[in-house]
Amino acid sequence: MSEMTYRDAINLALKEEMRRDQSIVVFGEDVALYEGAFKVTRGLLSEFGEARVRDCPISENTIVGVAVGAAMGGLRPVAELMTVNFALLAMDQIVNHMAKVRYMFGGQTSVPMVLRMPGGGGSQLGAQHSQSLESYFMHCPGMHIAYPATPADAKGLLKSAIRDNNPVIFLEHELLYNSRGEVPDDPEYLVPFGRVAVLREGSAVTLVGYGRMSILCLQAAALLEKEGVSCEVIDLRTLSPLDTEGIVASVQKTGRAVVVEECWQSAGLGGDLAARIYERCFDRLLAPVRRVSGLNVPMPYSRKIEKLCIPQTEGIVQGVRELLTSSY
Amino acid sequence: MEESLKGVLPDEELLRFYEEMALCREFEESCAEQYAKGEITGFLHLYSGQEAVAVGCTAGLEPRDYILSAYRDHAQAIVRGADPKRVMAELFGRSTGICKGKGGSMHLFAPECNFMGGYAIVGGQFPIAVGLSYAASLRGEDRVTACFFGDGAMNQGTFHESLNWARLWELPLLFICENNFYGIGTEVHRASAEAILHRRTCGYDIPSEKVDGMDVMAVYQATKRAAAWVRERQRPYFIEAVTYRFRGHSMADPAKYRSSSEHEVWKSRDPIPNFARRLVAEGIAGEPLLEEIRSRCAVQVQDAVRFATESPWPGDEEIWEDIYV
C-alpha cells in the first residue's frame, strides 16, 4: 500500500495500464503538453509520446466520437472532457453513438473506451461549471458509469474501466482530487463493477452515496455515532451497473435508508434508488426513504448560498435524525 | 465532354460498374414495393439516382479501406459486398438481417467488408470516421477511411470539428459529399451560405474538387486519384459528387418542393441508362448482354425478397442481447 491522492491514483492507473497495453491511448483538451486542467495526466506525454497522448481541439462532441471510432477500430481510448459540464455538447456522440452502435449493429462491433470527466459542485464555479450530471447518463442503456469515492477505488475502478470492453463513463469529483488514502501497489488491483462497497457497517440506518457524497456519508456517520446512532454507509462505486442487491441487503438489515445525491432531485438517481428500495424492502421499512439532494436550482456563485445547494454533512445528519423520529 | 471508356478499365470492370448500379436500382425499387406492401416499415431512404457515386467511389478504393455512410446506406453496403439477402432481411426486421433486425434500413453494418456503418444522426458519422482513421493510422494499417455524407450534413458542427481534426492530426480520410441539392426539403442555397460546397473546406486547408456524380467513370477516376493522394500524403481530401435522388427524402416524402421540369432534367441524366448507352456506343456490350445483366440483378433481388420473407422474426430474448459485451 502507498498513500497518495485521488488525482495520483488516477494518474497511476493510467500509467500502469498504458505500460501494459499499447492499444491504450489518451486524448482530450490540454491533456498532453499542459498535463491536464487538473493535472491528472501529468507525465503521460513524456513517458508515452505524442502518438498515444494527444491534445485535441475544443470539440467535445468530436472528442467522444473519435474515441468511439478509435475503439471500433481496435484501440482502447481513454478520452477526457475537461469537465462533465461539457458533456452536454457531446450528448449526441455519447447517447446516440457510444451507447448504441453495438446494439444497432447487431453486436458486430464493440466500443472499449473510457470517457473521463471531472465534475461536481462546491468550487464556486457558477451555474455552467458546477453540475452533477450522473442521472443524465444513468438514464441511458449501453454504457457503464463509475464514480470513485476514494483513492483506492479511483485506481481500481479506472483500471477495470480501461479493461472493460464496453464504453465506460468515468466520473471524478473535482473536490476529491487532493483527498488522500491508502492505495494498493498491485498493478492487478481491479475493483469490479456492479458491487457496492460497505464503507462502514451499522445497524440503524443505511446511508447510500457515491463519489464525494459517500465521503460526506462517512463524516455524517461518524458524527451520528456520537449520538448513539449506528449508520451503515454504502458506496455505489458504479452507478451502472447498479448493485441493487447490495443496497437491498443493507436496507433489509437496518430498515431505514437515506439516499444522498449531489445532482438535482427532480427525476434524479435518488428517486430511482428509493423506488428500488420500496420495491424490494417495502415490508421491512420502518420509515419512508429519505432523499438528501442538490437543490433544483442553477448553481449560484456566492459561497454563502452555493453550499446550501449542495448536500452537506450536516444535512445528512439532520436527515438521519428526522428519519429516526418519523414513521409511516 | 464524355471521355472514352475503352482502355480506361478492362471491359469486365466496366460491365461490373453497370451491374452494380443496376443491382442497386433494382434493390431500391423493390424496397419501395415492399414498403408499399407493409413488409418494410419505419424510415426508408432510397438511393435511386445516386448509384454512380456509391459504385464509382467504392471501385476507386481498396477493399481494406473503411467506408462509412449516413442513413441512405443500402447501396454503399451492397456495393461493398454485403449480401443483398441479408440487407433485405434487415429491412424486413428479420433475425437473418445483417444486424439481426436490430438496426434497420439506416443502420447497416458489414465489418467483414469494411463497411463500418450507416448512421442516422445527420453528421454523426464524421467523428467516428476520424476515430477509425486514427486507429488505422496508429496501428500501422494502410487504410483510407472514406466518409460519405449528404449536403445537409455540412451544416452540422461535427463536419467542421472533424475536418479540422483530420487535418490537424494528418489522417488519411476521404470526405465524400453526395450533394443531391436537398436536405429533406431545404435546398442547398437556403441552408449553406456558400452554396458551392466544395469551397467550404478551405478553412481547414483540405483540398477539394467537384465531380459529376451522375457519371460513374468520372466518380471512379476522381476517387482513385484522391485515394492515392490521401494514401501517399496521409492527409484528408474532399470530393463533392453532384447528384440527384429520384425519389423523395424518404418514403414519407412526396418531394413536392421540386419542380417536375427539374426532375425531368435530372432523369435525363440517369447514370444507369447513360452508362449503358456509352457501353453500347463503344462496342463494349450489346443490348442483349445488358438485358441479361439486368435480369440477373432482378433475380438476385427477388431471391433477397424471398429470403427475407421466409426468414424468422428475432426471438424476444434478442431484446436484451448486444447491449453490453
Does residue B130 register a pLDDT over 60?
yes
pLDDT band at A218 (very low <50, low <70, confident <90, very high): very high
Catalytic, A144? Answer no
Q: CA A199 to CA A182: how far, in whole Å?
A: 14
Q: CA A52 to CA B228: how far, in whole Å?
A: 26
Helix (H, G, I), strand (E, B) or coil at B170: coil
Does residue A328 register a pLDDT over 80?
no
Q: Within 13 A of A56's CA, how many CA atoms are on the CB side?
A: 30
Per-residue CA distances from A142 to A5, A110, A112, A139, B225 (Å): 31, 11, 12, 10, 40
The two most distant CA atoms of chain B are separated, in Å, by 58
The confidence score (pLDDT) of residue A312 equals 98
Amino acid identity of A189? Y
Q: CA B155 to CA B159: how far, in whole Å?
A: 7
Of A56, A75, A141, the CB nearest to B138: A75
Does residue A296 register a pLDDT over 60?
yes
> How does DSSP classify residue A73?
T
Which residues contact residue B147 at a Cβ distance below 8 angstroms, ignoring those fewer than 6 apart? Answer: B68, B125, B126, B129, B173, B174, B175, B176
Q: CA A71 to CA A97: how far, in whole Å?
A: 12
Q: Is B133 on the interface with A (CB under 8 A)?
A: yes
Q: pLDDT exceeding 70 applies to what percent of chain B? A: 100
Rounded to a whole number of angstroms, the distance from the CA of A98 to the nearest CA of chain B is 10
Structure confidence by residue, pLDDT tens digits, B25-49: 999 999 999 999 999 999 999 999 9
CB distance B131–A104 less than 8 Å? no
Q: Is B321 on the interface with A (CB under 8 A)?
A: yes
The confidence score (pLDDT) of residue B1 equals 55
Does residue B142 register a pLDDT over 60?
yes
DSSP annotation string for A138-177 = HTSSS-EEE---SHHHHHHHHHHHHH-SS-EEEEEEGGGT
CB distance A65–B117 less than 8 Å? no
Q: In this structure, which CATH number among 3.40.50.720, 3.40.50.920, 3.10.180.10, 3.40.50.620 belongs to the domain A197-325? A: 3.40.50.920
Q: What residue ranges of chain A are covered by domains with CATH 3.40.50.920?
A: 197-325
> Mean pLDDT in chain A?
97
- When mean pLDDT is compared across A2-6, A84-88, A167-171, A324-328, the lowest value belongs to A324-328
Instruction: Please tell me which residue in A60, A134, A232, A262 is annotated as part of the active site.
Output: A60
Helix (H, G, I), strand (E, B) or coil at B183: strand
Q: Is B136 on the interface with A (CB under 8 A)?
A: yes
For residue B94, the chain A residue with the least C-alpha distance is A106
> Mean pLDDT in chain B?
97
> How does DSSP classify residue B146?
E
Does residue A74 register a pLDDT over 60?
yes
Catalytic, A139? Answer no
Mean pLDDT, residues A195-222? 98
Does residue A187 register a pLDDT over 80?
yes
Which residues contact residue B33 at a Cβ distance below 8 angstroms, ignoring those fewer than 6 apart? Answer: none
Amino acid identity of A70? A
Mean pLDDT, residues A34-49? 97
Phi (first) and psi of residue A111, to 5 degrees:
-130, 75
Q: Is A54 on the interface with B (CB under 8 A)?
A: yes
> How does DSSP classify residue B249?
S
Mean pLDDT, residues B173-181? 98
Provide the ipTM: 0.97
- Grid coordinates belonging to A196: 457496492
Sign of CA dihedral B80, B226, B220, B248: positive
For A2-183, CATH gives 3.40.50.970
pLDDT band at A314 (very low <50, low <70, confident <90, very high): very high
Rounded to a whole number of angstroms, the distance from the CA of B131 to the nearest CA of chain A is 4
For residue A110, the chain B residue with the least C-alpha distance is B325
Q: Is B164 on the interface with A (CB under 8 A)?
A: yes
Of A54, A61, A103, the CB nearest to B323: A103
Buried b (16+ CB within 10 A) or exposed e, B207-219: ebebbbbbbbbbb
**Contact by Cβ (8 Å): B48, B25:** yes
Q: CA A249 to CA A234: how far, in whole Å?
A: 10
Mean pLDDT, residues B171-198? 96
Of A25, A71, A142, the CB nearest to B138: A25
pLDDT band at B172 (very low <50, low <70, confident <90, very high): very high
The confidence score (pLDDT) of residue A327 equals 72
Q: What residue ranges of chain A are covered by domains with CATH 3.40.50.970?
A: 2-183
Instruction: Please tell me which residue in A129, A134, A173, A262 is annotated as part of the active site.
Output: A129
For B13-249+261-311, CATH gives 3.40.50.970
